[in-house]
Amino acid sequence: MSTENNKEIVVNFYTTFLSDKADRAFAMMDENASWTVMGKSGTEAQLNTMSKAQFIELIKAVGALFPNGLRATIKGITAEGDRVALESESYGETTSGKIYNNTYHTLFEIRDGKIQAVREYCDTLHVHDVFGG
């Protein structure tokens, strides 16, 4: 696949995975895909790698916390070969009334037209502050 095709896969994935069309996005992931959240939670080092199935469960649980949805906006995208880097920002109000507004740098690895691995960098302290431990 070309670099442009890989960018298109990531943009399509990102613009649909928080929507009511999430199953379309999840179909873009290889069955053995992994999603790793990099960073720290509170004061403890954390590296949380999830399988595709675990990631889907997390997204569905997170979605339930946002009665008006969670908006995700792409701020920039860069690609080289099978790697696509995406800068983005999320915004939403949780069921408890807290505002979740985070920024991300997410690196996608694409092979044979499918997302193989994702490494997400975000403000994990903000995640902890909004959602707890």
User: Which of helix, strand or coil describes residue 117?
Assistant: strand
Write down the pLDDT at residue 52.
96
Could you tell me what percent of the chain has a pLDDT over 90? 73
Please say if the pLDDT value at position 42 is more than 60: no
Write down the pLDDT at residue 116.
98
Nearest alpha carbon to residue 10 among 91, 119, 123, 126:
119
pTM for this one?
A: 0.90
66-123: pLDDT as tens digits: 999 999 999 999 999 999 999 999 999 999 999 999 999 999 999 999 999 999 999 9
Write down the pLDDT at residue 99.
97
pLDDT range class, residue 128, cuts 50, 70, 90 = confident
C-alpha pair distances (Å), 128 with each of 83, 99, 112, 125: 29, 13, 36, 5
